[in-house]
Structure formats: structure tokens, C-alpha cells
Amino acid sequence: MVKDKEQHPIKEKKLLVSLIWNFSTELKLISMALLVIFTLATLLPFIPSSFSLSASDFRFCISRFSSAAPVNTTTTTEALPEKKTATEPERVLDNGVIKRTFTGYGSASYNFVSMSAYRGGVNTFAVIGLSSKPLHVYGHPSYRCEWVPLDPTQDPVSTPGFKLLTDWGYGRIYTTVVVNCTFPSTTAVGGNLILHATTGDPDRNLTDSIPVLTEPPNSVDLTLYTSPKKKYDYLYCGSSLYGNLSPQRVREWITYHVRFFGERSHFVLHDAGGIHDEVFEVLRPWIELGRVTVHDIREQERFDGYYHNQFMVVNDCLHRYRFAAKWMFFFDVDEFIYVPEKETISSVMESLEEYSQFTIEQMPMSSKICYSGDGPARTYRNWGFEKMAYRDVKKVPRRDRKYAVQPSNVFATGVHMSQNLQGKTYHKAESKIRYFHYHGSISQRREPCRYLFNDSRVVFENNPYVLDTTIRNVGLAVKTFEMRTIGNRLLRTRQ
């Protein structure tokens, strides 16, 4: 009996060993799987967050095992004129030279980015857009214009396009291009304008055919281009507005200039992100009165050009309103136009009528120091141009100028003047018209006065200033004009 009890545990041990031996392979696999799982669980917190496994990674792994099996695929890419392998093999020529190959993929920048196109007469059009700057600096791109009438009985006509590069070399990835399309004879109203943009590549010379304008039948009155009567006497073309602009400074600027230019004027503003909700509320009363038009151009930020593509924007404005105004002004929203007290804007413009363009001299004003002659409390309640009354008198070789043109004589324009026009330019108009520049004040969302002075002459940060109350003196008249025109809607406007 005792022997049986002693032999029983021995039999159980032999049975357990036998089971482990028989299933050793399966147990090894299970142990290895558990080891891998626990190892991954331990290392997972230390793996960088950028590490990821995508579906394409798994497909690649699977394809390594199933590459022998044929797979049916469908592609939506256009057929290329020449089919190339991923990497074309090099080869040795008969003379022993190794012939290497280079294959391009994708596109670093567009051949042409179309913004707009406008008819400019009975047989001429202007196309405004962007193009790759390296292409124009180092290559030889060209343009051809084609007019396809909607009337099937008329044949299409084509002409070489004349390109105008307007940004004086300031472009970045993209440069502004204005293409003039002048056909040899009158083009009937109603048709499609096609721009054929050629890269000028010596090997391939690729051409993109771009529909830039569709003109419905009977949609244009051709007498518009020769009539001396214009819808506006003065039209303001603004550059791209961007950044966190001050609603109060915009309020002051638009009220001042609506009063200054009079009822037969209009203002075109371009929103590149700067006309946020508070700024728009300042502009809304003037939009409702038909004095202001806002263009949303935020999409142009996709294309890296100079200062939010302002050269393209002002050229679009020029050609869009070219025959709607007698005079067109180009300056910024921190600049205030002024004519002497005994003059009016109409009398000044009549005296300059023989010129296609004139430039305007700058009066640089400080946007940091303010005049405190009204007392500190009232000073802070004053409008910006009432208290920022110190003018920089440091002598410099030259300062930037702004300008005005008779747009019907201009083919393309810039930010500080046009170099593509017919007629004369006048550069000595400082006794007739000037502009006061409050640099940087428009982008400050706070009280502009950092330092207060009550002197006629001040030296600040090693720069000499004099008290100039020219614009300050019209403050009351501008505020009264606003109240009479749109009421008290903007009284609670914030900085």
C-alpha cells in the first residue's frame, strides 16, 4: 500500500514530461508570440509619435510575397507623350562615355496662374496673372493669344502676346505678368480668349492652353472705350490688406478720403486677410452707400509672390476699372492725401490734366510720439491723425512716392509708379498735392501714443521732428462729415 502511494507521484511527473515533450513545438511558438507581445508593449511608450504604419506600408510588405501574381490596376493620370521607367538605366556609348539620364517628376511652380482678363478696346485684351519667376529670369517663355468667336461663321484669330513684368524684380517664387493681346482687327463681341503659355524649354517647349475670358454676346458696349464720360472722377485702387488691422485707424482713413475725394469717387479694397470682422463693420456703412467695394483675394496666398501679390492685385484693379474713372490713385491705408487749403482736389487734377501720371511726395509722420497740447485726457480721445502730429525732418536722399494715373493711358502698373504708359509723367507736384504717411499705425491694435510732447521741435531716438498740424486741423470737419453721412454707427469702434 505504501509502495503504491510512493509510485503515484512518480507516474504523474512522467505523464507531465510526456505531454510537454509531445507538444514542445506548439509551446515554443506560443512562448515566442508572448515574448514579442510583451516586448512591443514595453517599447511602445518610447517610440516617437511621428512613427506610424500606413496602409501603403502593409501593401508594400504584402506585395513582396505576391509580386509574381498579376494585378489589374486603374489609373486616372493623363497619358504622357513619352513613357519612361522609374529610373532609366545608364548606358555606355561607342566612344566609352557613360550616358546618364535625368527624369523630372511633379511641378515646383505653375507655368501660369490666371487671375483675370479684360477687354481693353475693340481689338485688345489684357490678361493678368502670375508665373514662375525662375522661368522668366532664366528661361524664355512666350505667349500667344487666340480669340474664338461664339459665332460659328467667324474664324478664330491669333496674335503674339506681349508680356509686361511689372514687379521690378521683387517677385519670389512667382512674378506678376500682364499679357497684352492686340489683334490686327476688331474682334466681335462674344467669344472666348485663349492664352497659349509656352515654357520655352529647348527640348520639349511645353505649351498650356488656358481659357482666360468668356465674353457673352452683346455684353460689351464698345463706345465705352472712346467715351470721355466716366462713371467716377477718382477711383482708389488699394494694395493687398493683410495682418491684424486696427478698425479705428481704418475708420479714420476711409472717412477722411470719402470726404476728401467727394461724391464722384469710389474705393476698391483687397482683402488678403486684413479685413477681419471688426474692420468689415467699419467699412459696412460705406459699402451700403456704394462708396466702397471689397474684393476677397485670400486664395492668392497659395502662390508665394511679393507682399501678398500686390503687384498682381493693383494691375487687376487697373484693368477692371480702367475705363470707369478719369483718375486712379495708388497709395496705402496708412497714408493721407492732402492739397493746400486754397485748392481742391478737382482744381489740382485739372492743372495736371496734360499728364498721364504724376507722383506724390511723402510727408513722413511719427506713429510713436504724439502732441499733448489738448491735455492728456482729450489727447487719448482724439483720432489718430489728430494726435500723431510730429513730422520727421531728417534729410535723406529720397523717400518713397505714391502716384495717380489717367488709367486709359496705362497698360500695366506698379506700387510706386507705372513704367508702362503712353503720355507724360510729372514729378514736381509737391506744391500741389502731398501725402502724410503714418507708417505702421494701421497694424497697431492699441493706443498709438507711446510718448507725449508739447513742443514745436522734438528729438526722439536721435531723429529730429517738427510739429505739423496740417492733417490734425481737419479732424473736426472729418468727424462732422461722418456723423452727417452715416450717423453714430461707428462711435464704439475699438482700436
Q: What is the pLDDT of residue 374?
A: 85
Secondary structure, 3-state, 285-344: HHHHCCCEEEEECHHHHHCCCCCCCHHHHHHHHHHHCCCCEEEEEECCCCEEEECCCCCC
Higher pLDDT, 94 or 285: 285
Higher pLDDT, 123 or 204: 123
**Cell numbers at 49, concatenated:** 509619435
**C-beta neighbour count of 30 within 10 angstroms:** 11
Q: What is the pLDDT of residue 63?
A: 44
pLDDT higher than threshold 50 for residue 373: yes
Q: What is the pLDDT of residue 104?
A: 73
Q: From CA 414, how far away is CA 168, in angstroms rounded?
A: 8
Q: What is the pLDDT of residue 124?
A: 96
Q: What is the pLDDT of residue 450?
A: 86
**161-169 long-range CB contacts below 8 Å, 24 or more apart?**
161/127, 161/195, 164/411, 164/412, 164/420, 165/136, 166/311, 166/315, 166/412, 166/413, 166/414, 166/419, 166/420, 167/305, 167/306, 167/311, 167/414, 168/414
Q: What percent of the chain has pLDDT over 90?
A: 66
Q: What is the pLDDT of residue 33?
A: 75
Q: Contact 118/215 with Cβ under 8 angstroms? A: no
Q: From CA 127, how far away is CA 193, in angstroms rounded?
A: 9
Q: From CA 316, how far away is CA 430, in angstroms rounded?
A: 28
Beta bridge partners of 435: 337, 362
Q: What is the pLDDT of residue 45?
A: 60
Question: How far, CA to CA in Å, does 209 sit from each of 194, 212, 494?
Answer: 6, 9, 49
Mean pLDDT, rounded, of the chain = 86
**32-38 long-range CB contacts below 8 Å, 24 or more apart?**
none
Average pLDDT over residues 223-236: 94
Burial 34-65, CB ≥16 within 10 A → b, else e: eeeeeeeeeeeeeeeeeeeeeeeeeeeeeeee
Give the E-state strand segments of 155-206 in sequence order: 157-165, 174-182, 191-198
Q: From CA 312, how far away is CA 128, in angstroms rounded?
A: 7
**Cell numbers at 65, concatenated:** 510575397
Higher pLDDT, 124 or 200: 124
Residues 381-423 have pLDDT tens digits of 899 999 999 999 999 888 889 999 999 999 999 989 999 999 9
3-state secondary structure of 232: strand
Q: Is the pTM of this model over 0.75?
A: yes
Secondary structure, 3-state, 377-446: HHHHHCCHHHHCCEEECCCCCCCCCEEEECHHHEEECCCCCCCEECCCEECCCCCCCEEEEECCHHHCCC
Q: What is the pLDDT of residue 408?
A: 96
Q: What is the pLDDT of residue 25?
A: 66
Higher pLDDT, 379 or 127: 127
Kindly indicate the confidence band of residue 79, based on its pLDDT and cuts at 50, 70 and 90.
very low
Looking at residue 236, what DSSP letter applies?
E
CA 312 centroid distance within chain: 8
User: 400 CB contacts (<8 Å, ≥6 apart)?
Assistant: 362, 416
Q: Contact 108/142 with Cβ under 8 angstroms? A: no
Nearest to 176, CA basis, from 319, 333, 331, 314: 314
Q: From CA 332, how far away is CA 326, in angstroms rounded?
A: 20
**C-beta neighbour count of 149 within 10 angstroms:** 18
Q: What is the pLDDT of residue 420?
A: 94
Q: From CA 495, how far away is CA 282, in angstroms rounded?
A: 12
Residues 30-73 have pLDDT tens digits of 777 777 777 776 766 665 544 444 444 444 444 444 444 443 33
